[in-house]
Amino acid sequence: MYTRPMPSETTMAIVELLRAIPPGKVASYGVVAGMSGVFSGPRGARQVARILSSMSRAYELPWWRVVRKDGRIALPEGEGRWLQRQLLEAEGVEFLEPDRVDMHRFGIG
């Protein structure tokens, strides 16, 4: 029987940072990575994206509260993008464009 390995301390620190993003706020992948104190720059942003992709369901992460640094939804056109916008709007987040959050009002970090 296969058992999934335990995530590293670094990964769990990022999980906790993601969980701490409050409703009605968003953070960029890079901001979350930088707040971890371990990752920075594009490498860190990619690591956060990987964690969200692989662990959101198991750890009940608020994946919809993470966007690109310019406030744009990173998901491609389709259901996922539409769902992310819908979830953010339900929390009171407003958009400047169809896929771009007002980071000055709703961003953290």
CATH number for the domain spanning 98: value is 1.10.10.10
Asked whether residue 38 is assigned to any structural domain, the reply reads: yes
Residue numbers of the domain that contains 14 = 9-106
Best CA proximity match to 109, nearest among 47, 42, 22: 22
Any long-range contacts for 36-42 (C-beta under 8 Å, 24+ apart)? 36/10, 37/13, 38/10, 38/13, 39/10, 39/14
- Structure tokens, 67: 């966007």
Number of domains in the chain: 1
Rounded Cα distance, 29 and 18, in Å = 10
Give the whole-angstrom CA distance, residue 98 versus residue 61: 24
The verdict on pTM exceeding 0.75 is: yes
Q: Degrees (nearest 5) of the Cα angle 16, 91, 25? A: 45
The SS3 of residue 24 is: coil
For residue 23, the model assigns a pLDDT of 98
Whether the CB-CB separation of 26 and 106 falls below 8 Å is answered with yes
Q: In tens digits, what is the pLDDT along the chain, a chain of 109 residues?
A: 655 667 888 899 999 999 999 999 999 999 999 998 877 777 889 999 999 999 999 999 999 999 999 999 999 988 899 999 999 999 999 999 999 999 999 999 7
| 37 in a structural domain | yes
Whether 43 maps to a domain, the answer reads yes
2 is a domain residue: no
